[in-house]
Amino acid sequence: MSNVRVRFAPSPTGYLHVGGARTALFNWLYARHTGGTFLLRIEDTDAVRNTPEAVRVIFDGLQWLGLDWDEGPLPGGGARGDRGPYFQSERRAIYDRALRFLLDHDQAYESDGAIRFRMPRKKIIVDDLICGEVCFDCTLEQDFVIQRKDGSPVFHLVNVVDDLEMKISHVIRGEDHLSNTPKHLAIAAALGADAPRYAHIPLILNRSGSKMSKRDIGASLSEYQDGGYLPQAVRNYLCLLGWSLRENREIFSIEEATARFELDQIHRSNARFDADKLLWMNGAYLRSLDVDEILPHAQRWLESAGFPVEKWESAYIKEVVLLIKEKVKTGKELAEWAQPFFREEISFQPDAVKRFLTAAGIQALRELLADLSEASDFTAAALEERFQKLARTHGTSVRTYVHPARVATTGREVGPSLYGTLTILGKDRVLRRIRRAIESFAS
């Protein structure tokens, strides 16, 4: 294993932002690419805003994305690793020691009840692995608070102390932290330690071109977890927010990203979040993935939609997923389209009834009911042949039967392949639903 040690250090203040998820992903990719260590640290010093539920959201989000951590707190309690505690709220004694060291060495002083750090009045160069050398003129920089009047330590201090104590080799974080880095380098030097290497990744912008905030639609990772997105697709898209394979290909596996991820290939320009592109990518993944890979996600989507999937054999669910996944872009859409397969009593869309269950439509259903009652082969190919033969017999278009049949059996006018739908529903359910439609809508 290499000496690379990186960390993701979120604050549990609500939900996991896509920017935070992207930061976690880039750290994870670098650790896996180099054979290093990926560490999770929870920055929970803000007791007012931090909640246990928000910590669970972080665990759930990282696990959903498949970003396993080598060191840090575990969802069920306890921790993995020997550099803990991994919650900042449990590290107060460590910060107090650092404060005492700075005070004793005249690198900090007390002022109005707070403790301030003596910022060196000089130019400080940040040798950033992405941004290059950035010079900050700190000759007029003010001393800054590192412990508040209430005794709580400030971000600048705890962030540096934790990185040093946990032997972090590379700090990979958002470019909005670049201006903090001279302070962090100065604190590390005052503590007599070598700072980690810094790599500041580009900001994620919203549609209007400003920094994506928690208030923006699509900013929360949970929106994609709950909205029926595949973690593979979200992970792939997050890779593209500041990094690429440097070839004209946007869809690639996490294994390929891991093999080729380098910090010096991260772009300098900010990345614009494109929800439409992510939606397209999710649809591409739904179409391309094997049904067995999608099945556990599909079961969760169906359960969330209120379908008791335990009532159905996994083979049946697979058939439904295989039929629908070519036509939808999210699991939420998949669950919506799957309703006729998991509910005995279907609901009819009024517009569909008005368009296709007219007197002519009901007559077509009667003819279809008589024909399908005689069918011994209910496969998609055989059904298509029966529909075409029936149309030829009555001198009409096959659409005469297709549209009323779809509405009668699914309640809607749009859906996946009708013949595949009828096959999965099975002969008994199809005939029962056609009879019900005739009884309900015949004038």
pLDDT at 14 over 80: no
Say if CB 271 and CB 241 are below 8 A apart: yes
Q: Cα–Cα distance between 439 and 105 in angstroms, integer?
A: 91
The pLDDT, as a whole number, for residue 1 is: 60
Say if CB 426 and CB 378 are below 8 A apart: yes
User: Strand 197-201 relative to strand 170-174: parallel, antiparallel, unpaired?
Assistant: parallel
Omega before residue 85 within 30° of 0, cis: yes
Q: What angle do CA 222, 224, 227 make, to 5 degrees?
A: 105
Helix 359-373, helix 399-410: angle, nearest 10? 90
Q: Cα–Cα distance between 386 and 310 in angstroms, integer?
A: 34
Predicted model pTM:
0.92
| Reported confidence tier of residue 210, pLDDT bands at 50, 70, 90 | confident
Six token digits for residue 211: 């920094």
**3-state DSSP call for residue 60?**
helix
Q: Residues forming the annotated binding site?
A: 214
| Reported confidence tier of residue 310, pLDDT bands at 50, 70, 90 | confident
| Reported confidence tier of residue 2, pLDDT bands at 50, 70, 90 | confident
Is 427 labeled as catalytic in the residue annotation? no
**Which residue, 41, 50, 4, is CA-closest to 23?**
41
**Tens digit of each residue's pLDDT (9 = 90 or more) over 98-155:** 999 999 999 999 999 999 999 999 999 999 999 999 999 999 999 999 999 999 999 9
Share of the chain above pLDDT 70, in %: 99
The pLDDT, as a whole number, for residue 218 is: 77
Q: Residues, the chain, total? A: 443
Using CA atoms in the order 113, 176, 17, 172, what is the torsion angle rounded to 10 degrees? Answer: -100
Alpha helix segments (H runs only) across 193-290: 221-226, 231-239, 254-260, 275-288
The pLDDT, as a whole number, for residue 245 is: 86
**Which residue, 255, 233, 262, is CA-closest to 172?**
262
The separation between CA 14 and the C-alpha centre of its own chain, rounded to angstroms, equals 16
**Tens digit of each residue's pLDDT (9 = 90 or more) over 271-302:** 999 999 999 999 999 999 999 999 999 999 99
Share of the chain above pLDDT 90, in %: 89
| Reported confidence tier of residue 256, pLDDT bands at 50, 70, 90 | very high
The pLDDT, as a whole number, for residue 309 is: 84
**Amino acid (one-letter) located at 368:** L
Q: Cα–Cα distance between 397 and 301 in angstroms, integer?
A: 37
Adjacent-strand bridge partners of 17: 220
The pLDDT, as a whole number, for residue 45 is: 79
Say if CB 202 and CB 246 are below 8 A apart: no
Q: Residues forming the annotated binding site for ATP?
A: 214
What mean pLDDT value characterizes the chain?
Answer: 94
CB atoms near residue 29 (< 10 Å): 25
pLDDT at 47 over 80: no
Say which range, 207-221, 288-302, 335-349, has the weakest mean pLDDT: 207-221
The pLDDT, as a whole number, for residue 360 is: 95
Query: Which is it for the CA torsion 312, 317, 323, 324, positive or negative?
Result: positive
Q: Cα–Cα distance between 79 and 366 in angstroms, integer?
A: 67
pLDDT at 217 over 80: no
**Which residue, 252, 270, 269, is CA-closest to 260?**
252
Six token digits for residue 81: 């690793």
pLDDT at 443 over 80: no
Q: Cα–Cα distance between 75 and 362 in angstroms, integer?
A: 57
Q: Cα–Cα distance between 275 and 252 in angstroms, integer?
A: 18
> Which has more pLDDT, 309 or 341?
341
Catalytic residue among 214, 277, 354, 389: 214
CB atoms near residue 111 (< 10 Å): 11
pLDDT at 208 over 90: no
Report the first-to-last Cα separation within the chain, whole angstroms. 76
Q: Cα–Cα distance between 69 and 66 in angstroms, integer?
A: 9
The pLDDT, as a whole number, for residue 344 is: 87
CB atoms near residue 348 (< 10 Å): 17
